[in-house]
C-alpha cells in the first residue's frame, strides 16, 4: 500500500507552553485502519487536528497525499479538506439545519445533483438508525443521535481519509458496534480510517487494525512504528 500520510519529527506547541506533541515520526498507509489510543491529555485530539489540517505543526514535516501540507497555500486547503472526513468529539452540527441537511452538506459542497443527494442522505440516515429523524434539528436529538448524524455527514462522501475523535463516546454498545462496522466497511472500500479512542474494547472489533499509542505527547514506541494491540490488551 502507498503511504498517504507521513510525519517527520513533528512537534506541536500551543502558545508559549510546553509541547503537546513531541517528535512524532510515522507513516499511514492508504487503505489501512488505525486506532489512536492513550489517556486523556496524551495528545490524541491534537494529533487528529494535524491530520485534518485544522492545525499546523510548530516544527517538522507533514506530507499528505504526497504533498507537503505544512507549506500548502491557504487557497488549496479547502480542496484537501474535502478529501478528509472528520467526526468531531463535539459533533459540530449546524443548529438551524435538519439532520438530513447536515448530512447532505459535503455532497452539496461537492456539487452533486439534488436528486442524488436526497437518495444518498436517505440511505445513510437509515443505516445509522435515524430514518425517522431526517427533519429533526440537532437540539431535539439526544447526544447519541447527534453523534450518529455527525458520523453520517463525515462518511457520506466516501472520503479518502476518515478521522474520528471518540466516535462511540455517546452511543450504547450495540450502536458502537454498528458504527465501527460502518468504519470497517468504508475501510474495505479503500478509505484510510483513523479512530482516536480510550475504549480498548473497540480494538478487538477490527482484527486487522493497527494501533498508535500516545503517552504525554510521544509515541510509546520511539521509532513511531504502528502495530497491532498487544495480546490481551483489547
pLDDT at 233: 44
Task: Provide DSSP, 56-80.
Answer: --SEEEEEETTEESTT--GGGHHHH
Mean residue pLDDT of the chain comes to 89
Average pLDDT over residues 112-121: 96
With a threshold of 0.85, does the pTM exceed it?
yes
pLDDT > 70 in the chain, percent: 94
| DSSP secondary structure code for residue 233 in this structure | T
Look up the CATH architecture of domain 33-56+77-219.
3-Layer(aba) Sandwich (3.40)
The domain segmentation of the chain, as residue ranges, is 33-56+77-219
Q: What is the pLDDT of residues 53-80, one digit of tens each?
A: 999 999 999 999 999 999 989 899 888 8
CB 132 within 8 A of CB 96: no
Q: Is the pLDDT reported for residue 224 higher than 50?
A: no
Q: How do residues 6-18 score in pLDDT, each as one tens digit?
A: 999 999 999 888 9
Amino acid at each position: 500500500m502507498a503511504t498517504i500520510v507521513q510525519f517527520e519529527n513533528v512537534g506541536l506547541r500551543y502558545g508559549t507552553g510546553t509541547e503537546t506533541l513531541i517528535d512524532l515520526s510515522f507513516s499511514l498507509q492508504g487503505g489501512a485502519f488505525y486506532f489512536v489510543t492513550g489517556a486523556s491529555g496524551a495528545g490524541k485530539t491534537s494529533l487528529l487536528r494535524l491530520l485534518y489540517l485544522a492545525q499546523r505543526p510548530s516544527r517538522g514535516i507533514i506530507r499528505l497525499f504526497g504533498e507537503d501540507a505544512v507549506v500548502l497555500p491557504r487557497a488549496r486547503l479547502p480542496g484537501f479538506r474535502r478529501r478528509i472526513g472528520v467526526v468531531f468529539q463535539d459533533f459540530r452540527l449546524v443548529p438551524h439545519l435538519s439532520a438530513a441537511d447536515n448530512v447532505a452538506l459535503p455532497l452539496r459542497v461537492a456539487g452533486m445533483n439534488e436528486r442524488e443527494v436526497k437518495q444518498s442522505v436517505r440511505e445513510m440516515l437509515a443505516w445509522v438508525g435515524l430514518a425517522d429523524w431526517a427533519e429533526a434539528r440537532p437540539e431535539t436529538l439526544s447526544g447519541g443521535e447527534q453523534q450518529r448524524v455527525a458520523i453520517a455527514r463525515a462518511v457520506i462522501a466516501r472520503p479518502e481519509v476518515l478521522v474520528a475523535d471518540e466516535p462511540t463516546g455517546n452511543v450504547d454498545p450495540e450502536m458502537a458496534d454498528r458504527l465501527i462496522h460502518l468504519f470497517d466497511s468504508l475501510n474495505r472500500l479503500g478509505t484510510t480510517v483513523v479512530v482516536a479512542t480510550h475504549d480498548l474494547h473497540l480494538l478487538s472489533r477490527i482484527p486487522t487494525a493497527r494501533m498508535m499509542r500516545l503517552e504525554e505527547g510521544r509515541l510509546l514506541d520511539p521509532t513511531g512504528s504502528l502495530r497491532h494491540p498487544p495480546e490481551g490488551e483489547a
